[in-house]
Structure 1
Amino acid sequence: MPTAAPRVPVRTFPDSELASAQVARELADFIRERAAAGQTAVVGLATGSSPTRVYEELVRLHQQEGLSFQNVVSFNLDEYYPMAPDSLQSYVRFMHEYLFDHVDIRPENIHIPDGTVLPEQVADYCRDYEAQIVAAGGIDWQLLGIGRTGHIGFNEPGSGSGSRTRLITLDHITRTDAASDFYGEENVPRRALTMGVGTILEARHVVLLAWGEGKAAVVKRLVEGEPTDTVPATYLQHHPAVQVVLDEAAAAELSPRKTPWLAGETCDWQQPALVRKAVTWLARLVEKPILKLLDEDYNENGLSELLAESEGQAYAINIRVFNELQHTITGWPGGKPDADDTLRPERAAPFPKRVLIFSPHPDDDVISMGGTLLRLVDQGHEVHVAYQTSGNIAVFDEEVVRFAEFVADYDELFRFDDQPAENLYQRVADFLKTKEPGQVDSAEVQQIKGLIRRGEAKSALRHAGLDPDTRAHFQELPFYETGRVRKKPLGEEDIRLTVELLEKLRPHQIFAAGDLSDPHGTHRVCLAAIMQAVQRLHAQETDWLTDCRVWLYRGAWQEWDVDQIEMAVPLSPQELTRKRRAIFKHQSQKDRPLFPGADQREFWQRAEARNRTTARLYDQLGLPEYEGIEAFVQWDFQGASEA
């Protein structure tokens, strides 16, 4: 059973930080080489979340290591149309905020498609943009991202390999993915200016970046699929000098990682994790419970070497993997007191435990692990929840008017001072009446939105049986508090605040959001804050940390694969209902969340579907049948620090 071979060179890094830093260094080396030869470096640049860390590293290299951009000529890939250059969502603004305002590039060397060109002038403008690239000598080094539709630049499905700079209509999926930047899909422009696929293919060197689980499927099509205009990025397979740079999550679906036994890779069958991955894959492929897999199932599906390692006895492999999966299941996520914990995912002592759940947004705790949270509380543990951000941008404006009106009406009935709250209501109402799509909220509106989400989080904790006055910790990490979808990079203050909370509570268990598919990137930054804080404390040989375990959950966007799961917490129908009611306490996110991402279902629907799907997978593999399962993976911070 052969698998597709990679059609483009791929480099995979442990995370996007390391990958971005390496790409930035390589681009910096190229710029320096050209400067040393007295030549310009013509660079094609991309926007979006993928290249931001590359730009941050380039800025650092300029400011701290003397990298000059005096010889750089840049051409950006695309721009929304119409789009004023000073708009929050404009790529002109993006490039200046992330790169150009912080380096010494000559203003006349910057080229970004103009979203203000009159419609009747667009065709001529696009031809002129192509001519400017030619006049500069062509693009030497092109940086790309990739969209879920497979677009590069804004070359949507249907774009030909010879296409040139032009005005295009954006795909629905692309507009959905951009909705968070524009505070709603209805505000996303329907068109954009973009370099063509043919223009990109003429660059002498191309580097494409992709991060996170959400890009894994389209990366597989790019790397292993046939070239097709339905996935324009696949045309890069024809380029003689292209590299695809990935983090582990984006590479997860590639054959050498997903099914290395089919890709001609050398497999170390002494690794239990690899055996478990292979056996669960095989069981799902042949649609059998693990304990019913036969020798011929292994032999006929590329796993004969694994079978040989076990002296040709399929059942020996089956029973080992079955037991491993069975031992992940526990109804005691905080550990069962006075029980033999040898084969349990969590230790029995101490009991009760002090548990700290980190929630990136004010509802991730109940959406992602609400059933486990309820179990921990019911079983007597001291549970704390840290809400890392205010979530204030994810509230509809009409909610603010409703709450401001409530305050004004309350003040009229129960006035205690000489400053009527109706002034607040009038200011808020006046601001929102004239607010432009994508405009940053006033400070008062941001505060009200934050209070709405804080009140909902408190309500959900009360539903779980917790006192929010003592068990809720609202961190409001500074990186998030910009009032915009685009956030600041993780900073020292974010890490310091996280360290302080950890030192204050000294938990025996930490739960954190471990997914990278959050479309706004907030989960990724929040996880980085936790990891850096924990590693800092570990380096200081903090005593309480030696008796602490860190468990990672995933959010509304994706679940752990069954072979990765290290703790599976089963949910009964009643517990799933209780979890749903906790999610319902977040009424500003109910019916229609402001930032739904690509999945249009409500968060509670996604959560229940994910929990039921995980339970169904366990059932199909021959394990007990449950209504739902919440899944966790342990982060070995001690091993990570040593590495």
Structure 2
Amino acid sequence: MSELLANRELQQYEKIATRVFNKPEESSELIAREIADMIKKRQQEDRHIVLGLATGSTPKEVYAELIKLHKEEGLSFSNVITFNLDEYYPMDPGQAQSYVRFMDEKLFDHIDIDKNNVHIPDGTIDREDVFDYCQEYEKKIREAGGIDIQLLGIGRTGHIGFNEPGSSRESHTRLVTLDKATRIDAASDFFEERFVPRNAITMGVATILDARRIILMAYGAGKASIIQRTVEGDVSESVPATFLQDHPNTTIFLDKSASSELTRFKNPWLVGSVDWDDRMIRSGVVWLCQKLDKPILKLTDEDYTENGLGELVTEHGPAYNINIKIFNEVQHTITGWPGGKPNADDSNRPERAAPFPKRVLVFSPHPDDDVISMGGTFLRLIDQGHEVHVAYQTSGNIAVLDEDAVRFADFVRVYAKEFDLKGEEAEKIFRKIQDFLKTKRPGDVDIPELRQIKGLVRQAEARAAAHFCGLPDEQIHFQNLPFYETGQVQKSPLGEDDIALTKALLDKVKPHQVYAAGDLADPHGTHKVCLDAVMESIRRSSDKSWYKDCFVWLYRGAWHEWDIDQIEMAVPISPDELARKRRAIFKHQSQKDNVAFPGSDKREFWQRAEDRNRGTAELYDKLGMAEYEAIEAFVRWIPGIKEIV
């Protein structure tokens, strides 16, 4: 658990009290305890407490902890009054995306709160009545005595509640139009952007700031940029969360990923004295190169001292010595032999020469992450003679559009008829799917037959891409980890069955190399669960003979890339290899042109991958390295030594 820093240098940057934790669970437990303590204190005083509540994935762990305290320690909610921040409009309370349903399922149905004390904006009222309804909502908050503790998440645009960019500091509860970015981010919950409501009822900025205590939570690398702007930027209507800088009792709770863009973590030498270990030196030098737009070997003593790195020069200088050291380190990350170069000096290479060839196991969370994220390296490992296996960890079935599944079901039905096969069952399944889709609402869980067809679509595409890269069927593995198979965007937690399947495959392949997705910016969390499955399975394999001779390399996916100072293996991709990688990605036809979950980036996945790989190569070039068409990047994970990704 981190400490709340309050030194003078830090306060020049951070304008809101900010606490950082290793895991979201740690902060959630602390927040729940703070709420519980206040509830008990008010009970002793024979007074009620008013909580402002938020929805979404961020506060779920807090609610789970509160339920645990209720069931295991007898915490009573009999004196609690709640007001939720917002609700989509229009929205039926029974819909899967309704915040009424969310709060019932995640909290209210499991505690002893008086339902008359629960207030959530009503998404069913007539539009002409909305204004008066919002006025009444504000009145109820005032009559309850005001909000004592307000929980918040934060959107990618910096919105709190549904107060989008442009919201006034003086705004109160009202009907708002949702920002395009907010609707894109919500698309996964509604399965397509077109189903996301265009409006919402939300507490206003002034309503939120009237709370006596505000707690904002943000987790994951995807929130790092907006958190930096919120905590360190100027107060502005363009980022409504920055208004929290004016509140006297606000604390932001983060995990390490969400805090990564804050100055004290990204550029700690600007905040105070640091321990100049090898990693920190490299980070400082790369930052200086990028700030001054200079290659490593052209940096001078003055460059260091005039830009906050004088301590580095004093301890490890002159600049010439530092430059040579870091230039060599960065250069040694580059290798055209990701599996190790046979019969070569490997003392300065990221991978060892022996054994050769190696058994390689590539874990792909979704059926296309392998070729999107490390397709060039995948091809090179196969071309260089290694025994490469690929494991598709989940079916990826929810990412197949209904019309694509119907097209394939129809193909099977017609195929059976054309070749005089027993087509009655195919006809029956096709009709059943058609009947279901006639009444399907956004967010409804697909019937098993439809989910199976969608999974088979992704399997066929993944197999086609792997075959194109040169893999035989016996080296292609479909794990279909159980945690994923909920039929919903929201998945189950990692379970023992998931770990057992992963560990069994590791024991079967006995790899010398493992590649896994370390992209924790994945907005739906699948990558994180898949990575946890791999890591835990490897930890539990420490007694296996293959474990002692296995390197684990982490790649990143379609949302994020390793920073240059983090990269430990950089694999150059030639123009021809980049074209082959693109063709492999194109085998995933259901994910091209019109995908179910595009995220906030409207580019297709192959475009994101190429732009990212070219961007990495350009950064290496600017540091003074050789110029390449593209580069794929990896970081090594060592169990027990480099545990935090």
Fold agreement, TM-score > 0.5: yes
Q: What amino acid maps onto 1:591 in structure 2?
A: D
Residues 1:58 and 2:84 aligned together: no
Aligned to 1:467: 472
Q: Distance in 2 between matches of 1:170 and 1:544?
A: 53
1:302 to 305, 308, 332: 308
Aligned to 1:493: 497
Aligned to 1:411: 416
* 1:362 and 1:389 in contact (8 A); partners too: yes
* 1:208 and 1:245 in contact (8 A); partners too: yes
Q: For the structure 1 residues 375 and 30, does the alpha-carbon distance in structure 2 shift closer, same or farther, using more than 3 Å as the test?
A: farther
Q: Mean Cα displacement is larger for which, 590-599 or 492-501?
A: 492-501
Q: What amino acid maps onto 2:583 in structure 1?
A: R
Instruction: Note the C-alpha offset of 1:86.
Output: 1.0
Q: What amino acid maps onto 1:266 in structure 2?
A: S
CA deviations over 1:314-333 (Å, ceiling 9, x no partner): 11000100111011111111
Aligned to 1:107: 115
Aligned to 1:281: 287
Q: What amino acid maps onto 1:638 in structure 2?
A: G
2:483 to 464, 479, 482: 479
2:371 to 362, 366, 369: 366
* 2:637 and 2:643 in contact (8 A); partners too: no
SS in structure 1 opposite 2:397? coil
Instruction: Note the C-alpha offset of 1:641.
Output: 6.6
CA deviations over 1:203-233 (Å, ceiling 9, x no partner): 1111111112221111111101111111110
2:299 to 267, 289, 293: 293
Structure 2 counterparts to residues 21-170 of structure 1, below 5 A: 21-170=29-178
SS in structure 2 opposite 1:43? strand
* 1:412 and 1:420 in contact (8 A); partners too: no
Q: Mean Cα displacement is larger for which, 92-101 or 415-424?
A: 415-424
Instruction: Note the C-alpha offset of 1:397.
Output: 1.3
Q: For the structure 1 residues 33 and 533, does the alpha-carbon distance in structure 2 shift closer, same or farther, using more than 3 Å as the test?
A: farther
Structure 2: gaps (5+ residues): 1-8
Aligned to 2:273: 266
Instruction: Note the C-alpha offset of 1:418.
Output: 6.7
Q: For the structure 1 residues 381 and 38, does the alpha-carbon distance in structure 2 shift closer, same or farther, using more than 3 Å as the test?
A: farther
Q: Distance in 2 between matches of 1:178 and 1:377?
A: 39
Q: Distance in 2 between matches of 1:533 and 1:401?
A: 37
Aligned to 2:357: 352
CA deviations over 1:522-544 (Å, ceiling 9, x no partner): 11222222233333444xx4443
Q: Distance in 1 between matches of 2:506 and 2:577?
A: 29
Q: Mean Cα displacement is larger for which, 94-103 or 361-370?
A: 94-103
1:552 to 546, 554, 564: 554
Q: Distance in 2 between matches of 1:508 and 1:86?
A: 51
Q: What amino acid maps onto 2:367 in structure 1?
A: P
Q: What amino acid maps onto 1:227 in structure 2?
A: V
Instruction: Note the C-alpha offset of 1:73.
Output: 2.2
Structure 1: gaps (5+ residues): none
Instruction: Note the C-alpha offset of 1:104.
Output: 3.0
* 1:535 and 1:641 in contact (8 A); partners too: no
Residues 1:187 and 2:199 aligned together: no
SS in structure 1 opposite 2:483? coil
Q: Distance in 2 between matches of 1:67 and 1:379?
A: 62
Q: Distance in 1 between matches of 2:644 and 2:190?
A: 42
Residues 1:578 and 2:574 aligned together: no
Q: What amino acid maps onto 1:523 in structure 2?
A: H
* 2:416 and 2:422 in contact (8 A); partners too: no
SS in structure 2 opposite 1:209? strand
Number of aligned residue pairs: give it: 636
CA deviations over 1:587-621 (Å, ceiling 9, x no partner): 00111221111110100000000000000000010
Aligned to 2:402: 397
Structure 2 counterparts to residues 516-531 of structure 1, below 5 A: 516-531=520-535
* 2:279 and 2:565 in contact (8 A); partners too: yes
Aligned to 1:515: 519
Instruction: Note the C-alpha offset of 1:515.
Output: 1.5
Instruction: Note the C-alpha offset of 1:409.
Output: 0.8
**Which stretches of structure 1, 4 residues or longer, exceed 4 Å deviation after superposition?**
640-643
Percent identity for Structure 1 against Structure 2: 62
1:386 to 371, 379, 391: 391
CA deviations over 1:244-267 (Å, ceiling 9, x no partner): 11111211111111222222x111
2:345 to 337, 340, 347: 340
Structure 2 counterparts to residues 447-458 of structure 1, below 5 A: 447-458=452-463
Q: Distance in 2 between matches of 1:55 and 1:339?
A: 56
Aligned to 2:320: 315
SS in structure 1 opposite 2:470? coil
Q: Distance in 1 between matches of 2:114 and 2:544?
A: 49
Q: What amino acid maps onto 1:609 in structure 2?
A: D
Q: Distance in 1 between matches of 2:546 and 2:33?
A: 39
* 2:191 and 2:442 in contact (8 A); partners too: yes
Q: CA RMSD in A?
A: 2.0
Instruction: Note the C-alpha offset of 1:29.
Output: 3.3
* 2:416 and 2:423 in contact (8 A); partners too: no
SS in structure 2 opposite 1:178? helix
Q: For the structure 1 residues 628 and 641, does the alpha-carbon distance in structure 2 shift closer, same or farther, using more than 3 Å as the test?
A: closer
Instruction: Note the C-alpha offset of 1:19.
Output: 2.8
Q: Distance in 2 between matches of 1:489 and 1:41?
A: 32
* 1:482 and 1:488 in contact (8 A); partners too: yes
Instruction: Note the C-alpha offset of 1:640.
Output: 5.4
* 1:12 and 1:247 in contact (8 A); partners too: yes
Give TM-score, length-normalised by structure 1: 0.95
Q: What amino acid maps onto 1:449 in structure 2?
A: K
SS in structure 1 opposite 2:363? strand
Structure 2 counterparts to residues 427-446 of structure 1, below 5 A: 427-446=432-451
SS in structure 1 opposite 2:214? strand
Instruction: Note the C-alpha offset of 1:121.
Output: 1.4
Residues 1:231 and 2:239 aligned together: yes
SS in structure 1 opposite 2:215? strand
SS in structure 2 opposite 1:393? helix
Q: Mean Cα displacement is larger for which, 71-80 or 356-365?
A: 71-80
Instruction: Note the C-alpha offset of 1:18.
Output: 2.8
Q: Mean Cα displacement is larger for which, 414-423 or 189-198?
A: 414-423
SS in structure 1 opposite 2:216? strand
Q: For the structure 1 residues 293 and 94, does the alpha-carbon distance in structure 2 shift closer, same or farther, using more than 3 Å as the test?
A: same
Q: For the structure 1 residues 102 and 545, does the alpha-carbon distance in structure 2 shift closer, same or farther, using more than 3 Å as the test?
A: farther
Residues 1:535 and 2:539 aligned together: yes
Q: For the structure 1 residues 472 and 22, does the alpha-carbon distance in structure 2 shift closer, same or farther, using more than 3 Å as the test?
A: farther
Give TM-score, length-normalised by structure 2: 0.95
Instruction: Note the C-alpha offset of 1:356.
Output: 1.7
Q: For the structure 1 residues 543 and 42, does the alpha-carbon distance in structure 2 shift closer, same or farther, using more than 3 Å as the test?
A: farther
* 1:151 and 1:233 in contact (8 A); partners too: yes
Aligned to 1:8: 16
SS in structure 1 opposite 2:236? coil
Q: Mean Cα displacement is larger for which, 491-500 or 620-629?
A: 491-500
CA deviations over 1:486-513 (Å, ceiling 9, x no partner): 2223333323332333333332222111
Structure 2 counterparts to residues 193-272 of structure 1, below 5 A: 193-263=201-271, 265-269=272-276, 271-272=277-278
Q: Mean Cα displacement is larger for which, 435-444 or 388-397?
A: 435-444
Q: Distance in 2 between matches of 1:448 and 1:249?
A: 36
